[in-house]
Amino acid sequence: MSELERKLAGSGLVVTGELPIVDGGGLDAVRAKLEQYAPWVDAVNATDNTAAHAHASNLAVAIALKMLGVEPIMQVVCRDKNRLAIQADIVGAALHGIENISCLTGDDVTAGDEREARRVFDLDGPQVIVTAAALARGEYLSGRKLEPAPHLFIGAVENPGAPPLAYRAQRALKKARAGARFLQLQICYQPEQLEAFCAEGARIGLFQHTALLPSICLVAGARPLEFMDADVPGISVPAATIERVKNAADPREEAFELAVEQARHALAQPGVRGLHLISFRKDDAVGRLCERLGIPTTKERDASGHGSAVTV
């Protein structure tokens, strides 16, 4: 059983982080990128060609995290690989003791810098969950036996802020029924959308199956918010939010305060078991955010047996 699985089975707060992209530099580079997250997170995402740009692979980075003593969550996207390659990656990850898998459809090639590439999407996000569940059961998608069956802890992603808003909780439930035990929600800059998603999730029984980890992005000013609004598929940032950060006396600090507010709000929603932190900053923002929220370090949380729910 992975640590993440064990912790989500408990009642304490869980924090995951998203490792910035890795292009090289060996374990030292990975260690440096981990630095701001390390004291605070239970597990770290190894991304899969994020934003449709090629980088060191999800599997390679997940292994590096493992070597550095950090629990990895290997993201798997559908854009670049067919069902054979996706299964090989998951089974290969399990071979290295990587059990946490986060399944997502992924941005299209047109979101990246190699737009002429062939898009694959042989499977879609929900189908990868079913496929991973098959592997964990001890068979490949073809039905061929897989022995020994790898132990997997399967998760996925859902976007509470993309149309059709009324369907998103149902789609999350579809993923949960397929075997997703945690959902790292995409960053949502409209609190009322996250609220509606969580309320609907509670109504339809989503949280009997799965734990929510809403994403919180740590940025250093208004420009990254404008970028996300314009260029990140499925993310929209209200003009008033961008203005607020832009017109503040200290935009950098205002962007941080925005994240604190978002995190507090997210943690107050039903079904939310923790946070997924994505830092685009190179300072100590992750640590400051956790301190402001009253989240102890991972070590302290572990020592207290994860029992203490955080009051926000």
Partner 1 sequence: MKPLALIEKAVKGPIWGCQMCGQCVLHSTGMTCPMNCPKTLRNGPCGGVRANGNCEVKPEMRCVWLKGFERAEGMPALPKHWREEYNDMRPPVDNRLKNTSSWANFLSKRDRQTPAGWKPGDDG
List residues binding partner 1 (CB under 8 A).
78-79, 83, 104-105, 107-108, 110-111, 119, 121-127, 130-131, 133-134, 137, 139-144, 157-159, 162-164, 167, 170-171, 174, 176-179, 186, 208-209, 233-234, 236
CB of 123 to partner 1, least distance (A): 5
**What are 279's strand-pairing partners?**
218
Instruction: Tell me which H or E stretch contains 14.
Output: strand 14-18
* Residue placing its CB nearer to partner 1 in the complex, 92 or 233: 233
Minimum CB distance to partner 1 smaller for 7 or for 79: 79
136 within 8 A of 151, measured Cβ to Cβ: yes
Tell the smallest beta-carbon distance from residue 295 to partner 1 (Å). Answer: 26
CB of 171 to partner 1, least distance (A): 7
Residue 214 Cβ vs partner 1, minimum distance, rounded to whole Å:
13
Q: Compute the least distance from the CB of residue 152 to partner 1, in Å.
A: 12
CB 83 within 8 A of CB 53: no
Given the complex with partner 1, which of 152 and 220 has the nearer CB atom?
152
Q: Enter the tokens of residue 103.
A: 């399944």
Residue closer to partner 1 by CB (options 165, 310) is 165
Closest separation between CB of residue 264 and partner 1, Å?
24
DSSP summary character for residue 82 = -
Shortest Å distance, C-beta 198 to partner 1:
16
Residue closer to partner 1 by CB (options 206, 267) is 206
DSSP string, 163-215: S-GGGHHHHHHHHHHHT--EEEEPP-S-HHHHHHHHHHHHHHTGGGT-EEEEE
- Please, which residue, 193 or 308, has the CB nearer to partner 1? 193
CB burial class (10 A; 0-12, 13-18, 19+) of residue 133? Answer: middle
Backbone angles phi, psi at 74, to 5 degrees: -90, 120
Q: Which is nearer to partner 1, 236 or 308 (CB)?
A: 236
Contacts of residue 245, defined as CB under 8 A and 6 or more positions apart, other chains included, come to 221, 222, 225, 251, 254, 255, 258
> Phi, psi at residue 40, to the nearest 5°?
-115, -20
Rounded Cα gap, residues 108 and 96, in angstroms = 29
- Name the CA radius of gyration of the chain, rounded: 18
